């Protein structure tokens, strides 16, 4: 006697991308920050080309989506701004190798003292960030401008780094107040997805087989 062919339900877990999630933030309620003070970038009127860096450890493994930073103009605000934002690896508690960089030119920053819109650095490479590692966000600016990376208002205790040569060398930890920013990532989550769904056929086959077995 032939056993009827039955098709079984086959389901596998396929990864799906969840919407962007905050994996680090030292912004206050409503994405607030200190509008009156910040760490200097570019020309600090001391003969330096200042750059700043701040550490973060992501709360979950995620692909970088974008970073929002609180930046304000202090001097030469009428001219097009030129500055770079970089995501860096950690190197002995100082900014290390560049993972992804973002260049901004011609963006008129709001003046220090105002609640200015955050500047968004949108990732193209989407590097994977993990809670096992510490990362740095650094900002450097042209010597033609004096830009401030506004202080955070949440008491963030993360290490901060400062550079006087545009980010070529760093002094860390500086002991300075970390600047305000937020990091969003895309978290990969398993999602059950049915590839072949033939429950009826499978059950029918089992019932037919059972009936044929009982008659035998």
Residue ranges covered by each domain of the chain: 10-212
d(CA 26, CA 11) in angstroms, rounded, equals 41
- Would the CA dihedral through 156, 33, 56, 109 be positive or negative? negative
* Interval 154-163 mean pLDDT: 97
Q: With bands split at pLDDT 50, 70 and 90, how would you rate the model's confidence at 193?
A: very low
User: Quick check: helix, strand or coil at residue 61?
Assistant: coil
Count Cβ atoms within 10 A of the Cβ of residue 60 and give its class: 0-12 exposed, 13-18 middle, 19 or more buried: middle
Q: With bands split at pLDDT 50, 70 and 90, how would you rate the model's confidence at 142?
A: confident
pLDDT of residue 131 exceeding 60, the answer is: yes
User: Quick check: helix, strand or coil at residue 178?
Assistant: coil
The full DSSP string for 121-165 is EE-SS--EE-TTS-EEEEEEE-TT-EEEEEBPSS-----EEEESB
Q: With bands split at pLDDT 50, 70 and 90, how would you rate the model's confidence at 11?
A: very low
What pLDDT does 160 receive?
Answer: 98
d(CA 32, CA 25) in angstroms, rounded, equals 11
């Amino acid at each position: 006697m032939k056993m009827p062919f039955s098709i079984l339900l086959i389901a596998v877990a396929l990864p799906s991308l969840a919407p962007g999630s905050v994996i680090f933030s030292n912004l206050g309620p409503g994405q607030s920050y200190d509008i009156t003070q910040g760490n200097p970038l570019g020309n600090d009127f001391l003969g330096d080309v200042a750059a700043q860096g701040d550490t973060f450890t992501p709360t979950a493994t995620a692909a970088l989506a974008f970073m929002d930073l609180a930046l304000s103009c202090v001097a030469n605000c009428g001219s097009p701004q030129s500055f770079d934002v970089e995501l860096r690896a950690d190197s002995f508690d100082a900014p290390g190798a560049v993972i992804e960089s973002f260049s901004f030119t011609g963006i008129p920053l709001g003046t220090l003292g105002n609640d200015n819109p955050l500047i968004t650095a949108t990732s193209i490479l989407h590097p994977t960030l993990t809670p096992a590692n510490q990362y740095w966000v650094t900002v450097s600016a042209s010597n033609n401008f004096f830009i401030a990376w506004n202080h955070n208002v949440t008491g963030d205790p993360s290490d901060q780094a400062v550079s006087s040569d545009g980010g070529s060398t760093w002094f860390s930890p500086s002991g300075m107040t970390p600047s305000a920013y937020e990091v969003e990532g895309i978290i990969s989550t398993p999602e059950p997805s049915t590839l072949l769904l033939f429950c009826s056929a499978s059950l029918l086959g089992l019932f037919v087989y059972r009936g044929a077995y009982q008659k035998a």
